[in-house]
Amino acid sequence: MEDDFDSAGTGDGNKSSKIKSVYDYLLIIRDRWLLSITLSLPVALGYVYKESQKPEYFASNSTFRLIPPPAILNLQKVERDQQVQGLVAKHLDGLNSQELRMNVTNRIEENSEYKSVLLGPFLRDGIAMNVASTVNYTVSVSGPSEGRPRFTISSNSRSAKGAMIIADLVQSEYDKLHKSRKSQQVESVRNVLELLLKKSQEEEGRIAKDISEYKRINNMPFLEDEKRDNSVRKSQYHAQVTEAKLEQIKINSLLKQILLIQSRIGPSSFSVKSADLEGNIAAIKEYFEIDAIESFGSIPNLRESLQNLERMRRQYQQSGSGYLENHPKMLENARQIQEVNSALNLEVKSAIEDLRDKHIQFSAQENAFTIEMEQVQSDSNKLSNIQDNLSKYERQLSIVRRSIDQIHERLNDVRIEQALPTDQEDPLHKENFAFVPGAPYTPDHAKTRTNGVVLFFGLFVLIPFAFEFLDNRVKSPWDIEIFMSQDLVGGIPKISEVEEKHRPMIVGNDLDDGLTESFRSMYSRIQMNSRSDYPKIILVTSAIPSEGKSLISANLAYSCANHGRKTILIDFDMRRPGLHDFCNIPNDKGLLTVVNEAKKGEQAIVQNLKLSLHDVHPNLSVLPSGGKTRAATEMLERSEFDLVVEQIRKIADVIIIDSPPIGLFPDSLAMARKVEEVLFVTRYGKVSRKVAKSLIENIQQTGANLLGVVLNDLPQKKTPGYYYSGYYGYGYFRYKYYNKYYSKDNKKDSPVTLTS
């Protein structure tokens, strides 16, 4: 037989990436349809009953048609539209006024018939009501048609005739009120406008007087002229300051050249006692490169005299006799040159001092004009403040004058309106009179029934999803595959026809063919998700007790044995062992005793295993716990335990370990580090998704391959739908479908048992 648990199929490769489908949502509704009907039906019926018990109300209406006065004045279309809009607003205010409502109420109070019609329905219901509370109406305006808008008065009442009475009284009372108040209103408006005009004119005179007084106090009769003069002075001062700065820059440049020359030839060039006459003259000549010094005072004449004396000296030296230095003519010439040179020294000094004096003068001039500019700027700021204040006065005066113009215009309109004859007023012509309604407009029974049906179906759908949202326990394939990100390797239906003590041997004793098919499907799924070669150890655990891990462990072991694999089922629940009871074997020897005797050597381990293992099925042996202990984790850390496990691997292909709940004790988590694969069992509706996911993450941190999750104790009402949808395989549903072919009545067609 080829390997059942080859490494070709892995859990990750088979994980579904689907999300909840429409069928999943239909299953949620089907699961709680009775509860949903129980809650939604009373609510919908209560709503329908409450709406149906509302009192009946009737509606009636009457209308006016506004006919504006004829165009006596030659008004444009826009002006006439504005006039119509003003009339509409005025009549709306009148129709909605408290005065009109009081007049209608008084008319009803004075008429006993009207009063009995309006209050009768309330009295029959035993409700004390006054007349004012029964007068209910609204006013609306339709769009103008040829400048003639329609006013609609809509009334409602508990009686049909009452609605007609209110609409009729509002129409007639407003017609009288409008006609009686028109002349009084126009005269009142005229008086108000004249009073406003007088006050506005007085305000205009006061503001004009304030402007004149302000100009007088500030001595600014002509503000613009002052601003212009101030601007001219500011420009002139700025030009003078700029010119002084430029002259200072020029003089600074010349002084820098003089300093450069002095640093090069030294201050001795100005000494008239210098013995080196020619050198002294050459030094003085360097200053003549500066134009301001070259043209200063008598320097041009002295330079010319110096040139003549030098030319004469050269002639003396180049004549036929060639005068020597001590010749009287040569001495006289030298004396004259020295005198001229001394005069040049003095003139150069004077020129330099003159430049410095000019620099001081221009600096003083700059300061003086800067002070004047600051004064001009101060005057400008003052003029700006004065102008701002005058602008405020001007704006106030402009506003008052515009108001005066508007009042004048409105007053002229009122005077024209007073001058119009009575037949040129803007009456509201009664177009439609109030009518007696034939049926109430509320309650709308058809709409109420429709809303009730919609409410029922809405609650019928929402209630199951609300409970599903609040219930966070593991109950569906979506919880496992999407929320927990694990593979669902099998779903075991709720077992009702097999006694509890026989359930671990359903596969071994073939107690229920449908359940046997479910375990076969689970075995096939585990086969695809396995990553390890033989021999291998599979640890079966759960989050809390009573989730069926012993049931799954035992039947999985029988399935492995039926597939021809030498299998050993180990009871590792050292705190509460139970497999020996299911298999009717003693528990005096087992895993605990084998580990305790392992220190005697390998032969002792083999001998103790032979005494402790019990064959319960072809290819299947059970190793009970051999007692109870709370030190299971300490036992796992002993080297003797590893020796026992290695010996078990030599005699079995598959070792299935039934362990205590991982959520309560650390035994399973410690054992997970020593096995190749782990199978997590959870019971339908027993553990929250968050707890199960956290425990699975702890298992994955041990490094063991998590084969997937088994959902146990699935309700029978969900089993066919879930199986058929492809979540759990098709074992149970397939058996139900083909069961008739394997029934006791068809023994000749009974299935053939395979032998290993």
More confident residue, 289 or 55: 55
pLDDT at 537 over 50: yes
Residue-level pLDDT at 438 = 73
The distance between the two most distant Cα atoms of the chain, rounded to a whole number of Å, is 175
Instruction: Report the pLDDT value the prediction gives residue 146, as an integer from 0 to 100.
Output: 54
The answer to which of 20-29, 162-171, 369-378 has the lowest mean pLDDT is 20-29
Task: Judge if pTM exceeds 0.75.
Answer: no
Q: What is the pLDDT of residue 720?
A: 45
**Range scoring the smallest mean pLDDT among 495-499, 631-635, 731-735:** 731-735
Asked if pLDDT for residue 18 goes beyond 60, the answer is: no
| pLDDT greater at residue 138 or residue 688 | 138
Report CA-CA distances (Å) from 462 to 11, 21, 23, 44, 632.
35, 17, 16, 14, 49
Tell me which of 261-275, 548-562, 684-698 is least confident: 261-275
pLDDT tens string 101-110: 888 888 888 8
668 touches 541 (CB < 8 A): yes
Residue 753: band (very low, low, confident or very high) from pLDDT cuts 50, 70, 90: very low
Asked whether the predicted pLDDT for residue 406 surpasses 70, the reply is: yes
H helices of 288-327, in order, are 291-294, 299-318
| 642 pLDDT above the threshold of 80 | yes
- Rounded distance between C-alpha atoms, residue 315 and residue 304, angstroms: 17
Rounded CA-CA distance 300/456 in Å is: 124
Q: State the pLDDT confidence band at 475, using cuts at 50, 70 and 90.
A: low
Q: How many percent of the chain have pLDDT more than 70?
A: 79
Which is more confidently placed, 391 or 320?
Answer: 391
Residue with tokens 């066919």: 720
Interval 441-470 mean pLDDT? 81
pLDDT of residue 205: 84
Question: Going by C-beta distance under 8 Å and a sequence separation of 6 or more, which residues neighbour residue 144?
Answer: 84, 88
The answer, yes or no, to whether residue 547 has pLDDT greater than 70, is: yes
**pLDDT interval class at 751 (50, 70, 90):** very low
Q: Do 279 and 265 form a contact (C-beta atoms < 8 A)?
A: no
**CA-to-CA distance for 657 and 710, rounded, in angstroms?**
16
The reported pLDDT for the residue numbered 85 is 76
Place of tokens 């699975």: 696
58-197+423-432 has CATH 3.10.350 classification: no
The mean per-residue pLDDT over the stretch 689-716 comes to: 80
Average pLDDT over residues 680-699: 80
What is the residue type of 630?
A: R
**Over the stretch 644-673, which tens digit does the pLDDT of each residue have?**
888 888 888 899 988 888 878 887 788 888
Q: Decide: helix, strand or coil at residue 75.
A: coil
What is the structure's pLDDT at 748? 40
Q: pLDDT-derived band of residue 727, with 50, 70 and 90 as boundaries?
A: very low
Write b or e for each residue in 24-38: b if 16 or more Cβ atoms lie within 10 A of its Cβ, otherwise e. beebbeebbeeebee
Instruction: Give the per-residue pLDDT at 73.
Output: 44
- What pLDDT does 240 receive? 84
Q: Reply yes or no on whether the pLDDT at 730 is more than 50.
A: no
Where is pLDDT greater, at 247 or 266?
247
In this predicted model, what pLDDT tens digit does every residue of 617-638 receive, in sequence order? 888 888 888 888 887 788 888 8
Task: Tell me which amino acid residue 323 is.
Answer: Y
> Phi and psi at residue 2, in whole multiples of 5°?
-75, 165
pLDDT band at 185 (very low <50, low <70, confident <90, very high): low
* CB-CB contact of 355 with 251 (8 Å): yes
Write the secondary structure of 188-227 as one string of H (helix), E (strand) and C (coil).
HHHHHHHHHHHHHHHHHHHHHHHHHHHHHHCCCCCHHHHH
Confidence of residue 674 (pLDDT cuts 50, 70, 90): confident
Closest CA to 176 of 396, 428, 423, 433: 428
Q: Residue 1, Cβ neighbours under 10 Å: how many?
A: 7
**DSSP label of 637:** T
DSSP assigned state of 6: -
DSSP state of 589: S
Q: Could you give the C-alpha distances from 430 to 23, 88, 153, in angstroms and in order?
A: 65, 15, 11
Provide the residue type at 17 as one letter: S
DSSP β-ladder status, 488-493 and 614-617: unpaired
Reported as type and span, the H/E element at residue 707 is strand 705-714
Q: Mean pLDDT of all residues in the chain?
A: 76
Question: Which run of H or of E encompasses 260?
Answer: helix 223-265
Report whether pLDDT(489) > 70: yes
pLDDT digit string, tens, across residues 342-360: 888 888 888 888 888 888 8
Mean per-residue pLDDT, 364-391:
81
**The predicted structure's pLDDT at residue 491:** 77
Helix axes 112-124, 160-217, angle to 10 degrees: 110
| Residue linked to tokens 């410095």 | 356
Beta strands, E only, 265-304? none
Q: What is the mean pLDDT of the segment spanning 423-440?
A: 67
pLDDT value for 116: 85
pLDDT at 425 over 60: no
d(CA 569, CA 578): 12
State residue 723's pLDDT score: 43
Residues 33-59 pLDDT 10s? 787 888 888 988 888 888 887 788 888
**Partners of residue 23 on adjacent β-strands:** none
Contacts for 32 with CB less than 8 Å, ≥ 6 apart: 463, 464, 467, 468
CATH superfamily of 472-744: P-loop containing nucleotide triphosphate hydrolases (3.40.50.300)
Q: Is the pLDDT of residue 556 over 50?
A: yes
**Domain segments of the chain as ranges:** 26-54+443-470, 58-197+423-432, 224-419, 472-744
Mean pLDDT (whole number) for 313-334:
78
Coil vs helix vs strand at 556: helix
Whether 122 contacts 158, CB under 8 Å: yes
User: What is the structure's pLDDT at 427?
Assistant: 59
The pair of structure tokens assigned to 614 is: 């019990």
> In whole angstroms, what is the distance from residue 565 CA to residue 616 CA?
14
**Among 350, 353, 345, CA closest to 274:** 345
Predicted local confidence at residue 3, as pLDDT:
39
For residues 23 and 30, is the Cβ–Cβ distance under 8 A?
no
